[in-house]
Structure 1
Amino acid sequence: LGPCTGGVSREEYGTVVRQLRMFLRGQNEGLVEQLRGTMESHAAERRYEEASVARDQISAIMKISERQHAVDPQGSDEDAVAIAREGTNACGVVLRIREGRILSSEAFMMPVDATEDITMIYEEFFKLYYSSALDIPPGILTQLGLPDRELISRWLSGRTGVRVSVSVPVRGHRRKLVDLAEKNAASRLITLRGRKASAGKGLGEIKKALELSSTPLRIEAFDISNVQGTGAVGSMVTFVDGQPLRSGYRHFRIRGVEGQDDFAMIREVLRRRLEHLKDGKSRHPDLLLVDGGRGQVSAAVEAMRESGLSPIPVAGIAKKNEEIFLPGRKDPIVLPRRNPGLKLLQKARDEAHRFAVSYHRKIRSRGLSESDLDGIPGVGEYRKTLLLVRFGSVAGLRKAGLEEIAAVTGIGPETARKIHEYIHGK
């Protein structure tokens, strides 16, 4: 959404931004009144679709408001910041209180040194969070005393343009808010401990079922997304110790495959990934997982062979019967549905699929560029030039009907259909 795309005017965009700010600040009552006025205005003009959008927004805000409870009769705007630690894991929590109501609770997991002082961890988390925070209230309640509290207060005041107070409450409802944030942090760590225990069982089951020489602590899962072979993209997601590692997620635009050839696409994505492992800067995965059966596994093995790297275990998991395929093995492995190893493989496979599909939708929804027409089978430089001369831009092409595209000299009905389906994501 933005005025630069031509989808909305600058005035409409400004209104959306102001309403978003109101929502983030907890000014729900005023926002609902604005939206009611918008809804009634659209209804009076018989713009019923826009009116229904405003109606749904009001409903969603009202539901959120019902879940928020008042904690300060004075209606203050404050954050309560706390941290909890367990071994080499820490969790920081920020309770956002706006107009006296708890608006949200944000939690952040962090790996830490087990011997590091908790005050140092707390200060580091505090500074990291507020260095990028967009909504800083005039009051911040801290769990621990910060060594350079006054300096931090001046820094935050400089960022917001208003005085920001940083204090450690010792009693009353403000102390309770900090205690609540700390309890939330501790609860998150307990949940993490349970997840790690479950993941540990799953990793052990995978090692056993796939007959691996070591536990697959680092799993990289791959998937492909395309529409009839056009606009194809690949994804890679990384799981470490059974948990998603966001910094290990990667996208790939398929460059060397024409048509709908999933095997060749998997081979290209794996080949490009394995090339990056050659520089020695990335940790090698313990298992490469592909979404699919024998064909996808064979493509992955071929990419491995071409890379010249030491072999990395490869497996494929097919959605139809949740069977696991291994290179050189005739029959697939079938694990019980509740097996924790199968569940972990499914989780990695499904996350790779979600990531691929979301990226595919993103590159199509944000608008095609001229170079994006290169991905359409049968549309080379000559035909691309004809289309751009006729319609002026890709945006103009998107507005054209199927018959208009087919009428362009040198295009024809069949190519027009492919173009129309591609630019509209059908």
Structure 2
Amino acid sequence: MADPATYRPAPGSIPESPGVYRFRDETGRVIYVGKAKNLRSRLNSYFADFAGLHPRTQTMLQTATDVGWTVVGTEVEALQLEYSWIKEFDPRFNVKYRDDKSYPYLAVTMHDDVPRVQVMRGAKKKGVRYFGPYSHAWAIRETVDQLLRVFPVRTCSAGVFQRQRQMGRPCLLGDIGKCSAPCVGRITEQGHRELAEDFCAFMAGETARFIKALEKDMKAAAAEQEYERAARLRDDIRALQRALEKQSVVLGDTTDCDVIAFADDQLEAAVQAFYVRGGRIRGQRGWVVDKVEEVTTGELVEQFLLQMYGEAAAEAVPREILVPALPPDTDAVVELLAEHRGGRVDLRVPQRGDKKTLMETVERNAVEAFKQHKTRRATDLTTRSKGLQEIQDALELEQAPLRMECYDVSNLQGTNVVASMVVFEDGLARKSEYRRFSIKTVEGQDDVRSIHEVIRRRFKRYLEETEKTGELDVLGEPEAGGPIDPETGKPRRFAYPPNLVVVDGGAPQVAAAQRALDELGIDDVDVCGIAKRLEEIWLPGEEDPVILPRNSEAMYLMQRLRDQAHDFAIRYHRTKRSKGMLVSELDDVPGLGPGRRKALIKHFGSVKLLKEAGPDQIAEVPGIGRRTAENIIAALRADDGAAPGAQDGTASPAQDGGGRT
């Protein structure tokens, strides 16, 4: 269970605007969505008096590990966005917004002889027009109450309708003008159906047509001095406009677009993107980027579009993208996006209407996200320092581990054994220092010997690098050249020693790492291991592990370090295994060397296609004769399941792909 105080927003960081907030658990899943007229007041109420909260709210706060929010312009926008997110994320603690696991819809029963407007839940029925869903039934009733002034469609049940028809007089709604009273013949069934169709058309987005018609009638009534009728029409127009306010964050039902906005200063920029699908906001994402040079907003837009959509799937590129400023070379960017999407892409700056309003909402969120980034950046240093200090105290180190290296081993049934080395400096990943190793001497699933080999190789290289410069203590004043390569101007591959070596494993792996350091005479580097099962920290020669507090910054930092090493090793192992499998079945073919193996794979594309080829087709490859082709076919068909051969290698620097995660 998390302590809510660990993720409470900094004082003054929460805006006083209306908005929607989300609580997430440790896996990143949204567990609660809520709305507020004043975000600061609402969120502070969660953290002010924990003991006074409802027990379910206490459980939610202890399950959550993070809280975030989105600023909107009005309370109605907050309501709309709230139910969109509840529908999308299905948060486990939002039970008060559910009713029988369904959301209310505004429905018009067009299949009836006399259509009825009502609130419906559950499975959708054929012949019924649905609008929504809404998070609250009362929100539907408020909308309907406004629209009935202009579109007085029947809302009563079938029983009430039949009873009033038998009695020959309308119900109260008919008397006050909010029902056209088809039950007593005030309007024909066809006329009432047309009224229901107009109601549906207005709800579907054809709003301007009705408002303009009412305005025209109002002016005509005023011109004829029918002031009472003009006043009623004026009130009808206001009722429609109030109903429209409830849809202010929703565009047309057929609108699919991405809305992108920026907030920046001289050094950094924050980006917010809202994804609108089917007229509703279906998602939101934010980024913060460093400015490496002075750029305009249009240049930022161009860089962002290329990075965001360049690697995305074609269906992820929408037909319309709204931006705050056009890139310098708009035509080229649009052409590139259209080619990637396989269809037309409109890139434009919204000037008016709902899209302009939505762009302003996204811009407010970009500004808010930028403020939050600045706040987090100021506190991150404190958090990282606290984590490093906690590690130093828990492991009884002489100094804080400002540079930590973590090692992990990956293999599949003893084949293609590899290891990874990831580096954290000042609590942050230093990806340019990541390294990969192919284990040379170990066969089988022996992580202990693999750890011994990789630690020995890494620190042997460190000793070699430092001996070249005559500098064994790189923490002191460097000699000429030092850890920096004078030819490239970059750090030598293994020039910097860590303060702490972390291995993924328990006591045996830690002992192997310490033994490797002892064999090299290195006694100023501390060693520990982190075991996966219980997240225990093991030290050399100790019978019992060190247990870090579950919610401590030290544990969080160690887990991130270990997870990075594990993921990096897995990716390298998969790459190496796939390359090994590609040529392994050709390894034992007599007279077939590496060059001709590569030529075969290049010509046919895969071993599978090579197997399907005949000897004449194989003999077409340069350097392959008829007899060799027959040997290849015989080998592939005789041994279709040969194990992939291992590939040996040396430490791989980040420039060869080792520094990318």
Q: TM-score, normalised by structure 2?
A: 0.39
Which whole-Å deviations, capped at 9, do the CAs of 1:268-299 have from their partners, x for residues lacking one? 33345557764634584553311123432343
Query: What residue in structure 1 maps to residue 334 of structure 2?
Result: 156
SS at match of 1:220: strand
Describe how 1:20-419 pairs up with structure 2 within 5 A.
Answer: 67=88, 71-73=250-252, 75-85=254-264, 90-112=269-291, 119=297, 124-130=303-309, 132=311, 135=314, 136-143=317-324, 145-146=325-326, 148=328, 151-161=329-339, 164-182=345-363, 183=365, 186-187=368-369, 190=372, 193=377, 197-212=382-397, 214-244=399-429, 250-273=435-458, 278=465, 280-281=491-492, 284=496, 285-304=498-517, 311-319=524-532, 322-327=535-540, 332-357=545-570, 360=573, 368-371=581-584, 392=637, 395-397=640-642
1:240 offset after TM fit, Å? 4.8
Q: Which amino acid aligns with 1:208?
A: D
SS of corresponding position for 1:82: strand
- Consecutive unaligned residues in structure 1, runs of 5 or more: 1-62, 375-385, 399-426
In the TM superposition, what is the alpha-carbon distance from 1:321 to its structure 2 partner? 5.1
Question: What amino acid is the match of 1:67?
Answer: E
- Tell me if the contact between 1:252 and 1:269 (Cα under 8 Å) persists in the aligned partners: yes
SS of structure 2 residue aligned to 1:157: helix
- The separation in 2 between residues aligned to 1:391 and 1:353, in whole angstroms, is 35
Cα distance in structure 2, aligned partners of 1:248 and 1:210: 24
Counterpart CA distance in 2 for 1:373 and 1:189 is 59
CA distance in 2, matches of 1:336, 1:360: 33
Q: Give the 3 Å change call, closer, same or farther, for CA 306–365 of structure 1 in structure 2.
A: same
Q: Pick the structure with greater CA Rg.
A: 2
The structure carrying a bigger helix percent of its residues is: 1
Q: State the distance in 1 between where 2:352 and 2:575 align.
A: 49
Residue 91 of structure 1, CA deviation? 3.7
Q: Which ranges of structure 2 fall in alignment gaps of 5 or more residues?
A: 1-83, 90-132, 134-248, 466-484, 486-490, 588-630, 644-661
Q: 1:94 to 1:260 in 2, by over 3 A?
A: same
Distance 1:317 1:204 in 2: 18
**Residue deviations 1:70-100, cap 9 Å, x none?**
8321523422222345896644333333453
Cα distance, 1:347–1:121 mapped onto 2, change above 3 Å? same
1:264 positional shift: 2.0
Residue type of the alignment partner of 1:222 = Y
| Structure 1 residues 320-373: Cα deviation after superposition (integer angstroms, max 9, x where no partner) | 554433457676534334332133213322443354456556766898244499
Cα deviation digits, residues 124-177 of structure 1 (max 9, x gap): 44454455555444432223x3572xx234332255256644333354332344
Q: Indicate conservation of the 8 Å contact 1:207/1:214, yes or no.
A: yes
CA shift, 1:222, in A, is 1.6
Instruction: Using the TM superposition, give the Cα deviation of residue 187 of structure 1 relative to its aligned residue in structure 2, in angstroms.
Output: 4.0
**Post-superposition offset of 1:237:** 3.5
Query: In structure 2, how many angstroms separate the alpha carbons of the residues matched to 1:219 and 1:334?
Result: 19
Task: Describe the SS at the equivalent of 1:236.
Answer: strand
Retained in 1: the 8 A contact 2:502–2:528? yes
Question: Which deviates more, 198-207 or 157-166?
Answer: 157-166
Change in 2 beyond 3 A, CA 1:189/1:299: farther
Q: Is the 8 A contact 1:370 1:393 kept in 2?
A: no
Aligned partners of 1:78 and 1:97 also within 8 Å: yes
Which AA in structure 2 matches 1:155? V
Deviation at 1:67, TM superposition (A): 2.0
Change (3 A) 1:347 1:137: closer
Check whether the contact 2:413–2:445 (CA below 8 A) recurs between aligned residues: yes
How far did 1:396 drift? 4.0
* One-letter amino acid matched to 1:289: V
The code of the aligned residue for 2:558 comes to: L
Question: What's the secondary structure of 2:581's corresponding residue?
Answer: coil
Q: Go from structure 1 to structure 2 and tell me whether the alpha carbon gap of 1:339 and 1:67 turns closer, same or farther (over 3 Å shift).
A: closer
Distance 2:358 2:571 in 1: 37
Corresponding residue number in structure 1 for 2:6:
none
Corresponding residue of 1:420: none
Distance in 1, Cα, partners of 2:506 & 2:572: 23
Question: TM-score, structure 1 length as denominator?
Answer: 0.57
8 A contact 2:309–2:337 mirrored in 1: no
Structure 1 counterpart SS, 2:421: strand
Distance in 2 (alpha carbons) for counterparts of 1:308 and 1:122: 54
Higher relative contact order (CA 8 A, sep 6+): 1
